[in-house]
Amino acid sequence: MSQKKRIYLSSPHMSGHEQKYINEAFEQNWIAPLGPNVDAFERTLADYCGVDHAAALSSGTAALHLALIMLGVKEGDEVFVSTFTFSATVNPIVYQGATPVFIDSENETWNMDPALLEKALEERKSSKRMPKAIIVVHLYGMPAKMDEIMAVADGYGIPVIEDAAEALGSRYNGRPVASFGKMAILSFNGNKIITTSGGGALLSDDEELIKEARFLATQARDPAPHYQHSRIGYNYRLSNVLAGIGRGQMEVIDERVTKRRENYFYYRENLGRYEGISFPDEPDDKFFSNRWLTTILVDPVKTGVSREDIYEYLEKENIESRPLWKPMHLQPVFSGYPRYLNGTSEYLFKYGLCLPSGSNMDEFTRERVINIIKGVLKNK
């Protein structure tokens, strides 16, 4: 085994200002949930994403769960969702006893294919059983084709929830992602572009929805001095201490995006010339990806090496890499659910690899990664 320092896919990167906000919380004894850091963090998030309101929550998963609850998703309902994603996108649908219907990707952005979405809705129309919601994911930071998706969804009057957990700082048509759907969610888990150690947010232009989300997230207490409850509540709020980390992180979000994009272009410049190694470029200038993770596709015939070869060589050098997300329709836990497939996500899963992409990677670290990959490609 190599003694070299481990290089991670995406590790937390503090700005230095987080401590200031945490100290404020301690000085004012705002350790309990809610407080000035939560309020300020929510304001910053909403402004940055170009929406009117935000609720800071304990995770992105919690935000999705509340979004579905507020749209009335319940047992027997269907929710259409990208199959090419992380399981947290889908789990809340099942929490509600509803049925996820998996929609495959198109091969330009790797996100939900608007044509397949339309086909699936078309079929539902004839059976008179429309989905309650559509969850569109902006995977690895790449915006989905929102013009097309919103046109289809609006045509059928189905609300869209954007899963922008990986895409804070990405834009489409010059507009931040998370500002297109009826609601959107963000995640501040430890590996995301900014982190609060753990946390998430729900975003919307609809003030009533965000108020309702805050209400449900704090145990759904009716406005009465005694504890009275007319609805089932959740304990999903973000603590004021963690929101302090988020405030410090939001001060440097644009620097983080710039750095992640630099990583992408660095990899592309150094590996793009190898036949059989390809990169998911932005399809045109409508798309601006935060490049949360740089990903490559490895054609084993053209390169003479497999994705596994590269993965294993990197691991030997104590460098973390990871196959692209295993599509949800291939997951044992979701095996029985309906799906609309075109082969794209299965292809991506078979040949794709995520490379170390942290905004805290220096020149030397990136070179270490590149040299290993070049070595693998040359030896074959």
Closer Cβ to ligand PLP, 58 or 204, answer by number: 58
How many whole angstroms separate alpha carbon 340 and alpha carbon 231?
Answer: 35
Q: Which stretch binds ligand PLP (CB under 6 A): 57-65, 219-227, 228-236, 336-344?
A: 57-65
Min CB(145)–ligand PLP separation in Å: 17
| Residue whose CB is nearest to ligand PLP in the complex, by number | 60
Token pair for residue 206? 């609809």
61 part of the interface to ligand PLP, by CB under 6 A: yes
Residue indicated by tokens 């209400």: 215
Closer Cβ to ligand PLP, 92 or 303, answer by number: 92
**Cα 74 from chain centre:** 24
**DSSP codes joined into one string, 100-125:** EEEE-B-TTTSSB-HHHHHHHHHHHH
Min CB(62)–ligand PLP separation in Å: 7
The total of other beta-carbon atoms located within 10 Å of residue 332's CB is 5
Whole-angstrom distance between the N-terminal and C-terminal Cα of the chain?
22
Contacts of 27 (CB under 8 A, 6+ apart): none
AA identity, residue 158: I
Closer Cβ to ligand PLP, 81 or 209, answer by number: 81
- With contacts defined by CB under 6 A, how many residues of the chain interact with ligand PLP? 14
Min CB(140)–ligand PLP separation in Å: 9
Residues 120 and 101: beta-carbon distance below 8 Å: yes
Closer Cβ to ligand PLP, 137 or 253, answer by number: 137
**Of 297, 271, 250, 283, residue with least CA distance to 374:** 271
CA dihedral over 361, 199, 65, 168, signed as positive or negative: negative
Closer Cβ to ligand PLP, 65 or 247, answer by number: 65
Pattern 143-182, ligand PLP, x by CB under 6 A: --------------------x-xx----------------
Residue of 12, 33, 143, 200 that binds ligand PLP (CB under 6 A): 200
Pairing of strands 78-82, 133-137: parallel
Min CB(142)–ligand PLP separation in Å: 12
85 part of the interface to ligand PLP, by CB under 6 A: yes
**Of 317, 218, 210, 295, residue with least CA distance to 10:** 295
Closer Cβ to ligand PLP, 196 or 303, answer by number: 196
37 part of the interface to ligand PLP, by CB under 6 A: no
Min CB(313)–ligand PLP separation in Å: 26
Min CB(371)–ligand PLP separation in Å: 29
189 part of the interface to ligand PLP, by CB under 6 A: yes
Q: Scanning residues 123 to 142, which ones bind ligand PLP (CB under 6 A)?
A: 137
Residue indicated by tokens 């644009």: 254
Closer Cβ to ligand PLP, 85 or 278, answer by number: 85
Q: Which three-class secondary structure state does DSSP give residue 53?
A: strand
Helix, strand and coil content of the chain, in percent to the nearest 5, comes to 40, 15, 40
Min CB(326)–ligand PLP separation in Å: 13
- CA distance to 87, 124, 179, 294, per residue, from 131 (Å): 19, 8, 21, 33
89 part of the interface to ligand PLP, by CB under 6 A: yes
Q: Scanning residues 214 to 243, which ones bind ligand PLP (CB under 6 A)?
A: none
Residue of 88, 134, 142, 213 that binds ligand PLP (CB under 6 A): 88
What are the residues binding ligand PLP (CB under 6 A)?
59-61, 85-86, 88-89, 137, 163, 165-166, 187, 189, 200
